[in-house]
Amino acid sequence: MQRYFIDEDNWQDGYIAITGDDYHHITNVMRMDIDSEILCNHPNGKVAHCKIEKIDTTTVVVKIIEWLESNTDSPISITIAQGLPKGDKWEFILQKSTELGVSRMIAFQAERSVVKWDDKKVNKKFARWEKIVKEASEQSHRNKIPSVDGVLSFSALLEESKNYEWKFFAFEDEARNRQSKKLHDYFAKINEGDSVFVCIGPEGGFSLNEVEQLLAASFQAIRLGPRILRTETAPLYVLSSLSYYFEEMR
């Protein structure tokens, strides 16, 4: 069944008013009619099974039939902070990380980021990023849409990480070193409900300066398997592994 994430203001007394892009999607793309059924996600994460009662020129009104007991979101809260990568990789990472259960996405300006994005450029892109995570949330049947932040400076990123229980950064040297601790040695200590912050470098990796600052800010260096992953593959490995361990194993 088609799923829509609807802003809080549009919910009232067992009814939901759907407008804008979602109105267009329901009427023009899906060509639904009175009595068609959809799922509506409230920003609090709850999901309602709904039936269309009325369609006019700007609004679809649906009635809530029942609240569903369904939670597909991760039992831990995972933030991926990604050094700004080249081209459209950030958009790819946003989409895939949403499917894989991320809670929050942050892009930051790393020393070795080839692209430099000023506020004007970021502001222009932001609506598109939010659309990508919303659509990926609908498609993958998430309960909540992940939040998106960026593009932060490295010092703002470190400040942002202070409220997290677990802080890691993916470090190539750990993959190369056969004496390094395994990833599970770190993940096994995380408890359900904990917040996890994982920082990933851009194409060229972290600078020495950044590595020193991360370590000083109590980040732990982790490996992501024995191979060297591209910057856009690293967050997918992190999220899949955490899903396997917390959702498919414990």
Binding residues (CB under 8 A) for its own copies: these are 71-72, 96, 99-101, 139-142, 182-184, 223, 225-230, 233, 236-237, 240-241, 243-245, 247-249
- The residues, ordered by sequence, that sit 6+ positions from 221 with a Cβ below 8 Å of its Cβ are 168, 169, 171, 173, 174, 180, 211, 214, 215
Which residue, 48 or 157, is less far from its own copies as judged by CB?
48
Q: In what order do the strands lie in the sheet with 166-170?
A: 147-152, 104-108, 77-83, 195-200, 166-170, 220-222
Which residue, 100 or 214, is less far from its own copies as judged by CB?
100
User: Whole-angstrom Cα distance, residue 88 to residue 17?
Assistant: 34
Which residue, 25 or 158, is less far from its own copies as judged by CB?
25
What's the min distance (Å) between Cβ of 227 and its own copies? 4
What's the min distance (Å) between Cβ of 209 and its own copies? 24
What's the min distance (Å) between Cβ of 205 and its own copies? 13
Q: In what order do the strands lie in the sheet with 47-55?
A: 3-5, 37-41, 47-55, 60-68, 15-18, 11-12
What's the min distance (Å) between Cβ of 119 and its own copies? 31
Which residue, 40 or 55, is less far from its own copies as judged by CB?
40
